Amino acid sequence: MVSFGGNPLEGSYDYIVVGAGSAGCVLANRLSADADLRVLVLEAGGRDRSLFIHMPAGVYKVWNDPKLNWNYASAPEEEMHGRQIPVPRGKVLGGSSSINSMVYLRGHPSDYDRWAAEFGLPAWDYAHCLPYFKKAERNQRGENPWHGGSGPLGVSKGASTNILYDAFVASGEEAGIGTSDDLNGYKPEGLGRYDSTKWNGRRCSAAVAYLHPAANRPNLTIVTEALVEKVAIEGGRARSIIVRHRGRQYVVHADREILLSGGAINSPQLLLLSGVGPSEALRGMGLDVQADLPGVGRNLQDHIDLVMQWSCRRNVSLKHLANPFVKAAVGARWLLDRRGPVASNIWEAGGLVRTEAGLPAPNIQYHFAPVAMRYVDNEIRLMQGFQMHVSQLRQDARGHIELASADPARAPRIVFNFLQSEKDRRELVDGVMMARDIVNQPALRAFLGEELLPGPAVTSRDDILRFVQGVSETEFHPSCSCRMGSDDLAVVDTDLKVRGVDGLRVVDASVMPNVISSNLNATVIMIAEKAADSILGRPALDPERPLFFFDEKQVA
C-alpha cells in the first residue's frame, strides 16, 4: 500500500523509518527492495512538488521557504554578538537534499580514518566507506577507483561556461594552493569545479534518486505531514511510535526496528521526548527515563561560514539574470530542454585548503559564485560581481541540542558555542585573508573591482575578527549530536543501534563522531547505504583504498 498523505496509520510494519530526508529515502528504498518486508516511512513535511526544488538555480526560492523548511534558529551565540543563527532544515520529501545547494563532496579520506582511530570504529574508516559512496553514485565521469557509475544518485561535474569559474580555479595555482580536477578523487584538496547532485539539468535529491523509484512497491507506505511525537519503549525495547497526522494521533507498531532519520536536530529531540538521554534533564522536563544516555544532543557540530563579495569590472557575471525578460527566457529554456543558466546550482566551483603548513588536512572550504547576491526585503538582488563563502571545517566548537519544552511541536534549543576558542577565531581570519590573496592573483585580478564585503576599511586581524563575529552563520551542516562510539557519551554503536534500547537505530548526520571537512549530503547517503546492509544482516562490502596524491608524497 502506497500513500502520499491520506492513508490511515494503523496496524504494524517490520520497519518504521522516521524522516524521509537523505538517509530515510535510502533506507526506504533498500529495505523495501525485499518484498517480504513491510516498510513505513513518515515525513513531517509535504511532497516535493515545487518546480523550484527540481530546478537547480531555484535553490534560493526553496531553501528558506517555510512550507519546505523547519527554519530553526540557534540560541543567542555569546561570541557572535548574541545573534541567533539561522538553522534551515528540509521539511519535505528528500529533506535537506531537496533544498540544499547540491554540492557533492565527501570530505577528506582522513576524516573517516580519524573516526576509526579516535573512536574505535574500524568499520568506518575510509576504505570501508568508499564502496558505499560508489554504490550510491552514478557519476558523469563513469566508474573508476574513486567513483561509482551505476548507482541511484546522479552526480555531475560543474559545466557552466562562465569565465569567472575558470579564473577562480586558475587563481588557485597562482596562489600556491593548487587545483584539482576531482575533489572527490585522487586529489581531494585545492581549488576546482565541484560535482553536484544534478542529472540531466535537474536536482537529484535523495527523494528523486531513491524514494520515487520505490514508491509504487506494494510493501512500502509513505505518509507525509506526519509528525512523530514519541517512540514508545517497553521493557527496554522500542515497540511503536506515536504520530500525529492531520489532527489525529496514531500508534503504529514496529515488529523489527524503528529507524530515526530526522537529522542532527530532530533525531536527538525525538530521543529526548522518548525518554532517552541525560536522566536529570529528562526528569526536569517531566519525562520518564527509558535509557540514561548523557550523550544525546551533545557534541553538536557545524561549519561556521561567512560571505565575502567583490564587484566585477567586466560585464561577465550572472547579474543579467535579474532582468525579468532574461529570467523568463532562461526559465522557458530549462522547461524545454533542461539546459542553460537555470540548470546550474550557481556554486559550481570552490575548494578545500590548508591555511597553515603541517595541518593533516584542509581546514577551510570555499564556495565560489560568479555573481554577488544580497537579500533586500527578503528578495535576492543580483549585483555585477562575484562572491565566496568561507567555511571553517575542523573547529573546536562543540554545542548541544536540548528540549525547550516537552511539546513535540516546539522547536528544541540549539546551541553551537561558535568562536569560543582562539584557534577557531584565528582560522576564520586566516580564511578571509587567503580569500583576498586568491582574488588578487592575475587570473581574477583582470575582473576584480572593489571589495564589497568586508570592504577595504577592514584591514587588521582584529577588524576581520569583528567582521567574522558580526556576519558569520553556519554552512547548514549540523551533525554529530547522536554520535557513534563505545564510550559513555556515545549514543549509538558501530551498527548505529541506540545503546541500551533494543529495536532502535539512528541513521543520519547525527551519528558522525566528528563533522567531515566538506558538505554533508554525500556522506549521509553513504552512511544510510552502509546501515541498510547492517539492518538487513548482509555482509559489508569489501573495503577499497585507491591511491591519493598525499600517499605518493609520503612515499617520495
Bridge partner residues of 351 (DSSP): 191, 366
Task: Give the pTM.
Answer: 0.97
Q: Using the predicted structure, report yes or no on whether residue 509 has a pLDDT greater than 60.
A: yes
* Mean pLDDT for the chain overall: 95
pLDDT digits (tens, 9 = 90+) for 234-260: 999 999 999 999 999 999 999 999 999
Catalytic residue among 54, 303, 389, 477: 477
Top pLDDT among 19 and 324 is at: 19
* Omega before 86 within 30 of 0, i.e. cis: no
Known catalytic residue: 477? yes
Give the residue-averaged pLDDT of 425-445. Answer: 98
pLDDT, position 8:
65
- pLDDT tens, position by position, 374-387: 888 778 899 999 99
Residues 127-152 have a mean pLDDT of 97
What is the band of 554 on the pLDDT scale with cuts at 50, 70, 90? low
Q: How confident is the model at residue 159 (pLDDT cuts 50, 70, 90)?
A: confident
Task: Using alpha carbons only, give the angle 540, 514, 119 rounded to the nearest 5 degrees.
Answer: 60
Query: Residue 7: pLDDT above 80?
Result: no
86-105 average pLDDT score: 97
Confidence of residue 351 (pLDDT cuts 50, 70, 90): very high
- The residue ranges of every structural domain in the chain are 1-14+24-153+199-221+229-300+478-556, 159-193+304-394+419-471
Domain spanning 1-14+24-153+199-221+229-300+478-556, CATH class:
alpha beta
Q: What is the pLDDT of residue 3?
A: 47
| pLDDT, tens digit (0-9, with 9 covering 90-100), for 191-223 | 999 999 999 999 999 999 999 999 999 999 999
- So what's the pLDDT on residue 4? 45
What local confidence, expressed as pLDDT, does residue 61 receive?
87
At 6 the pLDDT is 42
- State how far the Cα of 280 lies from the Cα of 314, in Å rounded to an integer: 61
Residues 436-455: what's their mean pLDDT?
Answer: 97
What values do phi and psi take at 131, rounded to 5? -60, -30
State pLDDT tens for residues 40-60. Answer: 999 999 999 999 999 999 998
Cβ contacts of 260 within 8 Å, gap of 6 or more: 18, 19, 231, 267, 270, 271, 504, 505, 506, 507, 508
Can you tell me the mean pLDDT for 107-128?
97
Tally of residues, the chain: 556
Answer for the pair 497, 504: CB distance below 8 angstroms, yes or no.
Answer: yes
- Estimate the crossing angle of helix 422-439 against helix 163-174, to 10 degrees: 110
Q: Which one, of 264, 305, 297, 269, lies nearest residue 478 by Cα?
A: 264
152: cell is 541511484
Which of helix, strand or coil describes residue 232? strand
Question: Is residue 27's pLDDT more than 50?
Answer: yes
More confident residue, 1 or 22: 22
| Fold designation for 159-193+304-394+419-471 | Cholesterol Oxidase; domain 2 (3.30.410)
